[in-house]
Amino acid sequence: MRLAEHQYRSVSAIRGPLLFLEKVFAARLGELVRIDAPDGRTLTGEVLKIFGDQVLIQVFGGTQGLDTKRTSVNFSDAVMRAPLGAGVLGRVFDGSFRPIDDLPMFIPEFRRPVIGAPINPVARAHPEEFIETGFSTIDGLNTLVKGQKLPIFTCAGLPAREMTEQLLHQARLPDGGPFVLVFVALGLTHFEYQFYRQTLEHMQSRFVAFVNLADDPVVERLLAPRLALTVAEDLAFRQEMDVLVIITDMTNYCDALREISTAREELPGRRGYPGHMYSDLASLYERAGRIHGRKGSVTLLPTVTMPEDDITHPIPDLTGYITEGQLVLSRELHQKGIYPPIDVLPSLSRLMQHGIGKGQTRSDHRDLSNQLYRTYAKGCDLRRLEAVVGRDGMLAEDRKLLDFADRFEAGFVHQGNKRRTIDETLDTAQALLDDFREVAR
């Protein structure tokens, strides 16, 4: 512990978001610094590297206007902490936790480091409580459970926004209660953000939002989700709420990570993304979960826009390796006018097996979902054949499978804005399968 605040005016270089400082005494890794710019602005930064008395600082906010002569840096002797307390609810902050809703800053009850400590695997309670989202393709075939992290893989131009928004309205917890929402906008355009803002206004005070728009500082894009997850952990594990964290869009986060990594002269990996991107993403996604003996939960639904609709692109690829499944949106279904355009074949919920069946949903759930998958997969396989030989050249049996695939998409996947309860979903599934067997006979 240092007794006095340390102040330095020994900036030796400024490169992109990075500041090099000389002749610093006893800096700490990750130490929070305050930077006083010559024009009177105050910025914050974090210590990235220390070589003897030389210190490398990452600046949150733009470095425009900083110089080597008059800029001064104050060391705080502490790592970055997020202010926490019941006062965060109903508020909108920027990527550095400054309020942007024209209200004064709330009075924090205490502060916690924004880099959360990992949950001890032994302390984790396995997620197995069913969440009814109202979407048949999710509830019936890719069931979401409390404490899960399930990303939405979308392509540019698909209605992921509408889906997310609808999900907020209609998701029900097992006890029927609503979620507390932690919303993180990363690199969104003002146009996109307008859309979500209306939704937030309807949530009254059951939300916290962190907004970093497309023209806001890039470094804050890396900070905002960490602030949000620190808040989410506090709401869930101290204040015992069920928290749903929505981060949109992780692709912007990863691009920011690449930008900063390049400035730091790190070795680029696939497509220029840094080699530590897996660990970095894991440090965010893994903060979802439940803990034995505590009531709350953190459920995470990040949105990932797949560049070039490519699911093997590093961003969706690494995300899929960390999250417990994925919901994949399909351009083809969207063009057929099907909403939500969830392609169930590549979609998956890894935690589904424990969240369905007797006591959770219905005892016939597992069986119905397996049959739907199998029959639909067969039908999709046959579509290729149909393209070559035409429907007339096919066996009667195969034509029925093709019909089934069409009716499954129109009757089960497609539901427009209508919410379906889990019973309605499973009944629809049963009816489709009954019809199919009837015709097949």
Partner 1 sequence: MKGTVTSISGATVCVDLADLKIGDRVFVGTSHLTGEVVRIDDKIATVQVFEENRGLGIGESVTTAGGPLTVALGPGLLGGIFDGLQRPLPLLLENSGDFVSSGQNPFPLDRKKSWAVTTNNKPGDHLHSGEAFAKVREGHIEHLLLMPQDGTLQQLEEGRLTLENPVATLADKQPLYGWHSWPVRKARPYQSKLPPTRPLVTGQRCLDFLFPLLKGGVAMVPGGFGTGKTVLEQTIAKFADVDVVVYVGCGERGNEMAGLLDEFGELEDPRTKRPLKERTIIVANTSNMPVAARESSIFTAVTMAEYYRDMGLDVLFLADSLSRWAEALREISSALEEMPGEDGYPTYLGSRLSGFIERAGVVKTLSGGQGSLSMILAVSPPGADFAEPVTQACLRVSGALYMLDTQLAHRRHFPAINWTQSFSLYSDTAMAHFVEEHEEWAKLQARCRDILQREDALREVAEVVGMEGLQDGDRLLMRTAEKIRLDFLCQNSFTEDAFAAPKSTIESITTLVAEHDQLSAALANGALLDDLLKEADHAPR
Are 31 and 79 contacting, i.e. CB atoms less than 8 angstroms apart?
yes
348 makes contact with partner 1 (CB under 8 A): yes
For partner 1, which stretch binds (CB under 8 A), given 36-44, 96-104, 156-164, 369-377?
369-377
Between 127 and 187, name the residue whose CB sits nearer to partner 1. 127
* Interface positions, 118-147, toward partner 1 (CB under 8 A): 118-127, 147
Three-state secondary structure call for residue 334: helix
Nearest to residue 110, comparing CAs of 88, 91, 80, 82? 82
Q: How far apart are CA 427 and CA 93, in angstroms?
A: 43
Q: How far apart are CA 296 and CA 237, in angstroms?
A: 5
Q: How far apart are CA 380 and CA 108, in angstroms?
A: 55
CB of 165 to partner 1, least distance (A): 26
For partner 1, which stretch binds (CB under 8 A), given 4-12, 205-213, 243-251, 388-396?
388-396
Q: How many residues bind partner 1 (CB under 8 A)?
A: 81
Between 16 and 99, name the residue whose CB sits nearer to partner 1. 16
Contacts 24+ apart (CB under 8 A), 173-177: 173/129, 173/131, 173/146, 173/242, 174/129, 174/130, 174/131, 174/146, 177/242
81 makes contact with partner 1 (CB under 8 A): no
For partner 1, which stretch binds (CB under 8 A), given 97-105, 108-116, 332-340, 400-408?
108-116
Nearest to residue 22, comparing CAs of 38, 10, 31, 6? 10
The distance from CA 34 to its chain's CA centroid, rounded to whole angstroms, is 30
263 makes contact with partner 1 (CB under 8 A): no
CB of 312 to partner 1, least distance (A): 3
* Interface positions, 176-205, toward partner 1 (CB under 8 A): none
Sole binder of partner 1 in the list 102, 308, 312, 416 (CB under 8 A): 312
Sole binder of partner 1 in the list 81, 226, 287, 365 (CB under 8 A): 287
237 makes contact with partner 1 (CB under 8 A): yes
* Interface positions, 35-64, toward partner 1 (CB under 8 A): 48-53
CB of 224 to partner 1, least distance (A): 18
216 makes contact with partner 1 (CB under 8 A): no
Q: Name the β-bridge partners of 132.
A: 172
Between 98 and 384, name the residue whose CB sits nearer to partner 1. 384
Between 60 and 196, name the residue whose CB sits nearer to partner 1. 60
324 makes contact with partner 1 (CB under 8 A): yes
Three-state secondary structure call for residue 14: strand
Q: How far apart are CA 125 and CA 345, in angstroms?
A: 29
